[in-house]
A = this chain, B = another copy of it.
Amino acid sequence: MDTIEILGLVAASLTTSAFVPQVYKALKHKSTADVSLTMYIVLLVGLILWVFYGVYHNSLSIILANVITGILALTMLILKLKHK
């Protein structure tokens, strides 16, 4: 694997794992008042479309990154609706 593809994988890992501390914070503090509900709805729809795009292109990295981010975004959405 060349350097640029490793860079791509690191980039994907970071933009996906970025949502972990947000989910952790929401679970710990049981508060999501400042978190935008619209953000997570729009994000989730976008991520689902990315998964279809990845399936069509047989790209495991696109599928994987977006499925994981999608699970984290869905968790935030559920927590947001629960705290409403």
Residues of A with Cβ closer than 8 Å to B?
4, 7-8, 10-22, 24-26, 29, 31-36, 38-40, 42-43, 45-47, 49-50, 52-53, 56-57
Q: From B4, B15, B42, B50, give the contact of A46 (CB < 8 A).
A: B15
Interface of A: prevailing SS = helix
User: How many identical subunits does the complex contain?
Assistant: 2
Most central of A8, A13, A29 by chain B CB within 10 Å = A8
Q: Given that A25-B34, A32-B34, A33-B34 are contacting pairs, would A39 and B52 also be in contact in the complex, using a CB cutoff of 8 Å?
A: no
Known: A18-B39, A22-B35, A34-B34. 18 other contacts (CB 8 A): A8-B53, A11-B49, A11-B50, A11-B52, A12-B50, A14-B42, A14-B43, A14-B49, A15-B50, A20-B39, A21-B38, A21-B39, A21-B42, A25-B39, A31-B34, A32-B34, A34-B35, A35-B35
